[in-house]
Amino acid sequence: MCTAILAGFSLLSSFVSAAILLPPNNVPRAPQTLPTQLLPTNITNTTSNVLHIQCDSTRYGRNLSPNSCRNVFDYIRESDLQTTFAERHTGRPEALPLPERVVSSDGLCFVQPQLLRGAVTGRASSTQIRQAAYTLFERCVIEKGIGGIAADIGGDNHLSVIIAEYAPHVRCDRTATPGPPFESCLVIAADMIATKDRKVFGDASKDPRVQVNLPSVLKAIDARCQASIEITGKSTSATWYEIWEAMSALSTICVRSSGKGGKAYGLGLRKNIFIQLSDETPDLSQPAVNVSASASFLNLEASNAFLEVS
């Protein structure tokens, strides 16, 4: 069992944190001060770049729900501030770490910015991302019922945006116990590993092939949100990206939309990995993460919480 601490500010609706991996005994640096952003405004579908639109049911899904995808835009704010994006955990603490996505309240549709192939960083404003995604919504979801991608957006044309379907396997708690604060869960989703290379998940004491030992617990050091990643039965092949997708959907569907904890299940090749999301200390007298509602990008809230991995 290993322990590490991640310090950061979380900046997107199910996202973002510019994190630094610190040795357990080090003191995290003070969080940065983020600029004030704009509150949501009416959407327009104009942009200074010529968008390259491709609707693709194979990659991004078919029969997307217009109502679900329309709901995503309730959680994307507008600002003309150009922001730098880079893949998470690549030594660029000044950039907003990818992957990150904004998920609909029912978990069935999402908008996600991503770097073009070969690009190390990309620059865009939340307004440019919102407008490109809305163009996709009109041309692909409304007109054809499928997902798609818009390329060459932002200040350097190094970013694309996708609108796509997701099939969540999530069950929210039905007890009277309140769930964890959404802001605390954002810290976990923003800082956890999200790589796409396959690894063997399981109990290392029973299987020498295991590369990721389970159970593994991710928790915010504000002693609120806790994500327990567990497995039943034999070891299985999975990716951290798959786990991250499920964590993003779980925190959106149960925590943001219902104020409850919950469970995401059916993960991995054997469909036997699950995530249990709960409030580590369900004491309403205790404060949650210190969040500035005015500091956000794509509706990611600024946070000076920390993530502990054990």
Same domain, 78 and 151: yes
Same domain, 117 and 145: yes
Q: How many CB atoms lie within 10 A of CB 192?
A: 23
Tell me if 297 is assigned to some domain.
yes
Q: Which two tokens stand for residue 212?
A: 């990721």
Same domain, 65 and 123: yes
Same domain, 302 and 196: yes
Q: What is the pLDDT of residue 222?
A: 78
Same domain, 135 and 212: no
Cα-based angle 64, 69, 73 (whole degrees, multiple of 5): 165
User: By residue range, what is the domain housing residue 144?
Assistant: 52-165
E strand or H helix that includes residue 198: none
Higher pLDDT, 284 or 6: 284
d(CA 73, CA 255) in angstroms, rounded, equals 18
| pLDDT digit string, tens, across residues 238-288 | 999 999 999 999 999 999 999 999 999 999 999 999 999 998 765 555 444
Phi, psi of 59 (to 5 degrees): -85, -35
| pLDDT digit string, tens, across residues 117-153 | 999 999 999 999 999 999 999 999 999 999 999 998 9
Tell me if 45 is assigned to some domain.
no
Phi, psi of 74 (to 5 degrees): -70, -15
Same domain, 109 and 189: no
Q: Which two tokens stand for residue 120?
A: 């190390």
Domain boundary among 148, 165, 182: 165
Domain boundary among 138, 165, 192: 165
Same domain, 237 and 250: yes
Tell me if 31 is assigned to some domain.
no
Same domain, 199 and 75: no
Domain boundary among 130, 165, 200: 165
- Give the whole-number percent of the chain exceeding pLDDT 70: 74
- What domain count does the chain have? 2
Pair 275, 243: CB distance under 8 Å: yes
pLDDT band (50, 70, 90) for residue 294: very low
Same domain, 146 and 197: no
Same domain, 144 and 71: yes
Place of tokens 């007298």: 285
